[in-house]
């Protein structure tokens, strides 16, 4: 009787110390590029929309980037599991750099066929950037899973958190400096300074590309299993209309728009179709059996909720500081630095703690408690709070958020087999970004709702039976000359009414964030506590 023996599974590639260092440098650069692009644009947006005449499309500059980067994350994760991380990251860098160049050129050659004017071009090229960015973030986190076992990844996730923090610190400052001071004339043609917020990606990206091509090992290649293209298409079908609906719902017309209902219906149909087709499929792009593990399910839910809660602060607190407290754009950006310093410190501390204790839950629980305290303090924001008090609130909030930047992903990676690290990492990043996107739409819609009512109550001389948009109210609040023309009889009263309206509508968002953060903390407490796997530990099946 003959006995057949299954072929032994291929052993993972063992990285040398030199390979680890070069791999870390490369992925840190590409992660910095992706993170920087989410923060550097905000400071330049007023100048961009002025040059490209696109105020009514301002939201789409960010939404287009987030749409494409979010829906492609699971696809890139699956491709990385099958073909290795390096080709996926290299592809992402090339697409990202092409998108950056095109964004810088938006509007330079007038209207283009099909796409249209400069603002439409910028939105389209930001979508191209997002296609590349989805591979950068997913590939960076998954590469760490290749080069180190879970118990040793704490220091790497700490570095990743530090890179996010550095990008958060550098982005607003660099964006402002380039917008204000980089304008130049070449051969008689004026190149606006804001275009260099996109061109700055090119030298950094080329350095990262060189290191990736020369020094990053091919990594561990999985089995040549079929890619779930149907599932990928259904994920896109579910995610894109959902994000579009949430973005449209943030407009003044809100949820009553027919296109919102249609988009939600398409998203629900796409989700239902995916759940049916993915059931029992071994190689689904987002495997349903991945969520059978309680660590994976609860960590991803907590990560989703934390990012949903977080978005109210970086999105709307700068607006509060400028319109209510009268700070300049540069001053409001500087006032946000304690939040980013806190995230940086929390991420580094939790990374070290995880490495020493080989546990992820203590840092997550401690961080959640600190974040709750910080968010509770922010809900008490008023004109009586000093600048120093505000900075302390933001630092505490950021310190609590820091551990969530990498430790939840670390927990998910430790709960799955090495062969599924890419798709598990991609799933966690996917739901992280979905949380941020829903947060943008949710808080935008809430602010429009509160602001419309507050303006009608506090500034009747301006409204006069007509609705006033957020953009119009912001312009009047920042431009006293325009305000004097709009309300010549009672300019001072109108200014006070505008400030009160913005103060009430923005501070109303923070209790909502606190409630969501409390729910996230409850889910964090429910995440099972497991020891991170060491180099010789057996991964789950």
Cβ distance 533 to 149 under 8 Å?
yes
**Residue pLDDT, tens place only, 287-327:** 888 888 888 889 999 999 999 999 888 877 877 887 788 87
User: Rounded to an integer, what distance in angstroms lies between the CA atom of residue 26 and that of residue 343?
Assistant: 22
pLDDT at position 540: 53
Which pTM was predicted?
0.75
User: Rounded to an integer, what distance in angstroms lies between the CA atom of residue 207 and that of residue 486?
Assistant: 52
Cβ distance 24 to 156 under 8 Å?
yes
CA within 13 Å, CB half, 48: 31
* Coil vs helix vs strand at 184: strand
Helices (H) and strands (E) in the chain, counts: 24, 2
Cβ distance 74 to 139 under 8 Å?
no
Cβ distance 355 to 349 under 8 Å?
no
pLDDT at position 414: 79
Tokens of 259: 């296109």
C-alpha to C-alpha distances, 442 to 243, 245, 435, nearest whole angstrom:
11, 11, 10
**Residue pLDDT, tens place only, 169-195:** 777 777 777 877 888 888 888 888 889
- The burial of 278, by beta-carbon neighbours within 10 Å (0-12 exposed, 13-18 middle, 19 or more buried), is given as buried
C-alpha to C-alpha distances, 495 to 327, 408, 464, 501, nearest whole angstrom:
15, 45, 16, 10
* Coil vs helix vs strand at 3: coil
Residues of the chain scoring pLDDT < 70 = 1-17, 43, 46, 50, 54-56, 58-59, 145, 148-158, 161, 165, 217-226, 247, 250-254, 282, 329-330, 419, 422, 460-472, 474-475, 478-479, 487, 489-490, 532-541
pLDDT at position 223: 56
């Amino acid at each position: 009787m003959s006995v057949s023996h299954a072929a032994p599974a291929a052993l993972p590639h063992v990285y040398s110390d030199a390979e680890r260092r070069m791999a870390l440098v490369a992925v840190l650069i590409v992660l910095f590029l992706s993170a920087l692009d989410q923060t550097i644009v905000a400071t330049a947006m007023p100048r961009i929309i002025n040059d490209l005449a696109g105020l009514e499309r301002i939201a789409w500059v960010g939404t287009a980037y987030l749409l494409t980067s979010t829906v492609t994350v699971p696809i890139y994760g699956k491709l990385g599991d099958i073909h290795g991380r390096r080709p996926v990251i290299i592809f992402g860098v090339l697409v990202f750099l092409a998108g950056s160049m095109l964004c810088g050129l938006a509007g330079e050659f007038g209207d283009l066929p099909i796409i249209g004017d400069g603002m439409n071009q910028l939105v389209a090229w930001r979508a191209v950037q997002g296609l590349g960015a989805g591979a950068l973030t997913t590939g960076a986190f998954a590469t760490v899973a290749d080069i180190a076992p879970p118990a040793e990844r704490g220091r790497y996730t700490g570095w990743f958190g530090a890179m996010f923090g550095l990008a958060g610190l550098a982005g607003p400052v660099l964006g402002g400096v380039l917008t204000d001071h980089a304008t130049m004339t070449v051969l008689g043609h004026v190149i606006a300074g804001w275009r260099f917020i996109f061109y700055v990606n090119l030298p950094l990206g080329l350095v990262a590309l060189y290191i990736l091509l020369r020094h990053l090992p091919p990594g561990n290649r999985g089995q040549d299993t079929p890619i779930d293209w149907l599932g990928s298409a259904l994920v896109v079908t579910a995610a894109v209309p959902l994000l579009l609906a949430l973005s449209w719902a943030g407009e003044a017309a809100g949820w009553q728009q027919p296109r919102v209902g249609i988009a939600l219906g398409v998203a629900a149909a796409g989700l239902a179709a995916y759940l049916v087709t993915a059931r029992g499929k071994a190689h689904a792009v987002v495997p349903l059996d991945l969520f059978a593990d309680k660590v994976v399910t609860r960590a991803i839910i907590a990560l989703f909720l934390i990012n949903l809660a977080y978005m109210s602060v970086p999105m709307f607190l700068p607006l509060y500081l400028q319109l209510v407290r009268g700070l300049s754009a540069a001053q409001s950006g500087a006032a946000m630095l304690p939040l980013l310093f806190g995230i940086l410190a929390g991420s580094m501390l939790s990374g070290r703690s995880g490495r020493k204790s080989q546990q992820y839950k203590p840092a997550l629980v401690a961080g959640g408690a600190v974040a709750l305290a910080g968010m509770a303090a922010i809900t008490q924001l008023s004109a009586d709070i000093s600048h120093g008090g505000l900075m302390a609130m933001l630092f505490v909030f950021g310190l609590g958020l820091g551990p969530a930047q990498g430790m939840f992903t670390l927990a998910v990676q430790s709960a799955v087999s090495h062969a599924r690290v890419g798709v598990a990492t991609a799933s966690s990043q996917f739901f992280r970004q979905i949380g941020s996107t829903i947060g943008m739409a949710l808080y935008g819609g809430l602010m429009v709702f509160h602001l419309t009512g507050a303006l009608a109550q506090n500034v009747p001389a301006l409204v006069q039976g007509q609705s006033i948009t957020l953009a119009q109210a912001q312009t009047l609040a920042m431009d006293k000359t325009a305000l004097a023309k709009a309300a010549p009889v009672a300019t001072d009263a109108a200014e006070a009414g505008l400030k009160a309206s913005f103060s009430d509508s923005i501070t109303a968002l923070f209790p909502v964030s606190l409630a969501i953060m409390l729910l996230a903390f409850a889910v964090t407490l429910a995440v099972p506590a497991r020891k991170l796997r060491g180099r010789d530990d057996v991964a789950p099946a």
